[in-house]
Chains A and B, each alone.
Chain A
Amino acid sequence: MKTIAQPVQASVETRPRVQQSRSRKLWNNRTLLLMCAPAILFFAIFAYLPMPGLYLAFIQYNYTDGIFKSAFIGLDNFRFLVMTGDLWRLTFNTIAYNLAFIVLGNFLQIFIAILLNELRKKWFKKVSQTIMFLPFFISFVIIGLIAYNILSFDYGLLNNILTSLGMEPVKAYSNPHVWPFIIVITYLWQSTGYGSIVYFASIMGLDSEVVEAAEIDGANALQRIRYIVLPWLKPTFIILLLFSLGGVLRGNFGLFYNLVGANNTSLYATTDIIETYVFRSLMNNFNFSMGSAVSLYQSVFGFIVVITANWLVKKASPDNSLF
């Protein structure tokens, strides 16, 4: 690809450079600009237009007065969130779950990618990859239903197995302590096949001659993995890790909402994340200002985290940084 790209670059460079006015430049690219226009309009409406709405965080919104006439109360919403401990709980839950997802997820994905690479039977690789990738394709509604299938106190598969082994059945839907495990396991179940594809593809890019040379020198599988495959995966791992750290304050609403259920208050202590809180303040409590306050906090704090993560990516590998 590089060899093709270079002469093109050169031909662009050698063109006579005439100072053009700004509007002239825009006019020259009018077709390309027009081709981008729908996308620009799309993001302007659905992403940028709501942003000023975060002003809601600073007022006591009520429906009759609307946005502009509701009382301005400054930081009172934030003060309330801090005082009730809600903000701390939401931040803790969101970050703790994401860290568990990132660490365990990447570990399992790399583990599976490496093992897949050691297998020799083609059909086995194909079939198992296909099956592991399957959970990525179903909606969170189905995932919620599947969890219910397994965890339901009366009928669930888990309690079937536990009672047949003579053990006590578990009341999952009223016991907040088991949920961190349930949510993390469900996440791993759904995303490992998907995530391992990236690592597996990366291993495929490894020069087979290097591996064969190591084999001839008498390296066994563990040594090959330790000294060739793992170092080879390190850059991919670091980049993916930093990218996912950038989103550490963003929760997966669909996963939590469908697993826990809409109004299961007894589980909030361990399952409530920023997204589910904002959703409830909108749909159940109609407290638009409180929801916006949490969103604003999330966006600002999240923005700082992304900038930091990107700065780290830039240090680790300048080619992969986002900006």
Chain B
Amino acid sequence: MEVVQKRIRTDGTSLLVRGFGYAFIGLFAICCLIPFLVVLGTSFTKEASIAKHGFNIWPREFTTFAYKIVFENPNLIIGSYIVTIGLTIVGAIVGLFLVAMTGYALQRPDFEQRNSISFFIYFTTLFSGGLVPFYLLIKQYLHLGDNYLAVLLPGLMSPFLIIMMKSFTKSIPHAITESAKIDGAGDFTIFLRLILPMATPALATIGLFIALGYWNEWYNAMLFLSPDMKYRPLQLFLYNVITSADFIRNSSAASNVPLRDMPLESMKMATAVVATGPVILFYPFVQRYFIQGITVGAVKG
């Protein structure tokens, strides 16, 4: 293959650079991967072995005990899963529709108010009221404390995604809109029937960005959902498992395992594996959509 590709003989320096490239990139990639393997490995390691040898990639003494404990009281984690999946699906569909509709309208050259509306949206990235007024708004004025809407609503749209959608739909020729208008179609019909089907790669990208945001969302959940709520989004659930001793005590009681025998460390890792698993499994198939979005959205098109 080398011979076919290279008509010119590669000189020594270039070979050296290439060799260095393989070594450096390979090492960096391994560094990116190791932490994941440590989490995975530790989740399958006996607690006694962790106490003796610390965290490791390869479990010295293999066990699935931590997973048994995590699923001993399965309705908690299954409930969290359902909450997160629900938020992700509803948020991605509604958010995607709104972002796409706004993005399409805002790039229409014949839409006179497009610049002022774009600025209205963009300005929110320049100046903000900060956390405290936002918190008071959601909690005291909208009364959304302990309500999943407090997590769902603020994540629906972002200026970044609207700008990305604008750049994407700009590449669909305006002539299509024009000719449909001549045929008597309204703006919304054009968007729904013509633009949406043509913009599927863009929609996949933006939908996936929104979905990933909801799957990994813990900030609004931590702010607005109290620990009294039985079913919390997955990441908040994980956060509580990692940080709270109460949770360990409760699962100890629920599983009839004495507190001193609870696999504290491996349980944290097992919960992390369960919370991240779906993302990692889907990831290889969807990464190209994210790459598309990043290249389009990074430098304003």
Contact = CB atoms under 8 A, between A and B. Distances in A.
Interface in B106-147: 106, 108-113, 117, 119-122, 124, 126-137
B238 A157 contact: no
Contact of A115 (B24, B283, B284, B294): B24
Contacts of A7: 175
Interface in B21-64: 21-22, 24-26, 28-33, 35-36, 38-39, 42, 50-51, 53-56
Interface string A200-211: 010000000000
Given A51-B127, A149-B35, A156-B54, A8 B178 contact: yes
B230 interface: no
A189 B29 CA distance: 10
Contact of A157 (B2, B56, B299): B56
A73 interface: no
A210 B133 CA distance: 55
Interface stretch (B67-75, B85-93, B250-258, B268-276): B268-276
Contact of A160 (B12, B54, B101, B178): B54
Interface string B260-285: 00000100110010011001100110
A180 B110 CA distance: 51
A275 B51 CA distance: 36
Contact of B50 (A38, A135, A155): A155
Nearest to B13: A220
B207 to A, nearest CB: 15
B81 interface: no
Main secondary structure of the interface of B (DSSP, over half): helix
B300 A150 contact: no
Contacts of A51: 127-129, 133
A62 interface: no
Chain A, interface size: which category?
35 or more
Contact of A120 (B18, B119, B131, B294): B18
Given A120-B5, A149-B39, A306-B126, A50 B137 contact: yes
Nearest to B242: A145
Contact of A137 (B130, B223, B279): B279
A139 B213 CA distance: 9
**Max chain A Cβ within 10 angstroms of own Cβ: one of B42, B104, B239:** B239
A133 B289 CA distance: 12
A11 interface: yes
A198 B294 contact: yes
A87 to B, nearest CB: 15
A261 B244 CA distance: 12
B55 A149 contact: yes
B229 interface: no
Interface in B176-204: 178, 186-188, 191
B249 interface: no
A120 to B, nearest CB: 7
A236 B299 contact: yes
A198 B29 contact: no
A119 B22 contact: yes
Contact of A295 (B129, B239, B284): B129
B162 interface: yes
A323 interface: yes
Nearest to A125: B25
Contacts of B154: 46
A152 interface: yes
Interface stretch (A26-34, A88-96, A97-105, A265-273): A26-34
A265 to B, nearest CB: 16
A279 interface: yes
B83 interface: no
Given A131-B33, A138-B276, A29 B111 contact: yes
B268 A239 contact: no
A308 interface: no
Interface stretch (A78-86, A171-179, A296-304): A296-304
Contact of B32 (A54, A193, A283, A296): A193
B218 interface: yes
A138 B130 CA distance: 25
Interface string A127-159: 110111111111111101110111010111101
Given A42-B98, A46-B154, A134-B280, A221 B14 contact: yes
A230 B132 CA distance: 44
A116 to B, nearest CB: 6
Contacts of A302: 126-127
Interface in A202-243: 215-216, 218, 220-222, 225, 236, 239-240
Closest 7 CB pairs of A and B: A53-B133, A295-B130, A50-B129, A50-B133, A139-B216, A221-B14, A47-B124
8 contacts: A39-B121, A39-B157, A52-B133, A119-B21, A139-B216, A189-B31, A201-B291, A254-B219
Given A51-B128, A118-B17, A302-B127, 6 more contacts: A38-B101, A47-B124, A119-B22, A157-B55, A220-B17, A299-B127
